[in-house]
Amino acid sequence: MRVVVVYKWARNPTDALVRSDGSIDWRNARMTAGEDDPAALAAAFAIAAGSDGEVLGLTIGDGDASWALARGVEQAWSVADAPSLVDNAATAAILAAAVRHLGEVDVVVIGDSRQDAGVPVALAGELGWPALVGLTSATTVDGRLQAARKVGGAAQTVLLPTPAVVGIAAEADVDRAPGMKELLAARKRPLTRLSLAELGVAPDDPESLGCAKPDSTPARVFAGEPAETAAQLVAALRSEGVL
């Protein structure tokens, strides 16, 4: 199988500061490896290993593209001028154009981000491929793509046709920092830069009319002497009817 792993395709929301008026300051945050990226990478390797295949890396935006190269991916492509977008379909269109640019691809593996839950599925929609997301892992058995997931109290194994998109949701924080040897090897591995113009995509976002903080009641917070605050909390929980 020829497997593309998509990584570092979004900014990390923890890099954003929400100002008191609700507006968002990204503080020059770059695209980062998402919490699901290491699990997606592991699945990409598992799929390739089960089929004598290869793993190609694909990233977008201004993050350091060597992340995958330092973790065993032999070559990678970066659409460096891709902006960070609100419209998940626009992001997916960039990724789909890049996947098509890579020629024949059997499987695209991508982290199933909580923040941008529409990107993996819009990518499949854009490519017109079947997809499964929310997976815990994927692999190839007897030349066929199969994926694991948890649904309604059961662990399922699902067989998929190819080409397909698989979205992996991390079960644990599995990233492993590469050693010096791997970092040096990564520098020698080919990284090809692509541009939006080359791919023939011109993504844009819907017009933003601004942000506002949600209407929510802030926590009633007690501070002071431990015995006193404990008594206040217990009284509050009793009045809520939960004690």
Partner 1 sequence: MNTDCWLLVTADGWGGAFRIARALPGRLTAVVIGPRLLAEQVAAAGPDEVRWTDPGPVPAEAWGAALAGAAADAQPGVVLSTTDPAARVLLGAVAGRLHARLVPAAVAIAVQDDRLLVRRAAVGGETIETLRCTGPVAVTYGGDDVAAASGAAAPVTPVELAAAPLAVIASEPLAVASGLEDADRVVSFGRGVRAKDDVSLVQGLADALGAELACSMPIADDLGWLDKSRYVGRSGNHISPALYLAVGIGGAPQHMEGVRGARVVAAVNNDPEARIFRTADYGIVGDLYDVVPELTKAVRNLPSKELEQ
Binding positions for partner 1, 186-225, rule CB under 8 A: 205-214, 217-224
13 versus 53: smaller Cβ distance to partner 1:
13
180 versus 242: smaller Cβ distance to partner 1:
242
Report CA-CA distances (Å) from 222 to 94, 188, 209, 238.
49, 56, 37, 15
Smallest distance, partner 1 to C-beta of residue 118, A: 4
How far apart (Å, rounded) are the C-alpha atoms in residues 107 and 162? Answer: 7
How far apart (Å, rounded) are the C-alpha atoms in residues 111 and 168? Answer: 5
How far apart (Å, rounded) are the C-alpha atoms in residues 237 and 85? Answer: 42
Of 49-57, 74-82, 144-152, 186-194, which segment contacts partner 1 by CB under 8 A? Answer: 144-152
Question: Which residues in the 10-29 window bind partner 1 by CB under 8 A?
Answer: 13-14, 16, 18, 22-24
52 versus 240: smaller Cβ distance to partner 1:
240
How far apart (Å, rounded) are the C-alpha atoms in residues 10 and 22? Answer: 21
Question: Which residues in the 111-140 window bind partner 1 by CB under 8 A?
Answer: 112, 114-118, 120-128, 130-134
Around 78, how many Cα atoms within 13 Å sit in the side-chain half-sphere? 18
- Is the separation of the CB atoms in 167 and 131 below 8 Å? yes
What distance, in Å, lies between the first and last C-alpha atoms of the chain? Answer: 57
Interaction between residue 1 and partner 1 (CB under 8 A):
no
- Is the separation of the CB atoms in 47 and 140 below 8 Å? yes
Of 49-57, 58-66, 83-91, 192-200, which segment contacts partner 1 by CB under 8 A? Answer: 83-91
Question: Which residues in the 86-105 window bind partner 1 by CB under 8 A?
Answer: 86-90, 92
Interaction between residue 146 and partner 1 (CB under 8 A):
yes
59 versus 146: smaller Cβ distance to partner 1:
146
Smallest distance, partner 1 to C-beta of residue 172, A: 5
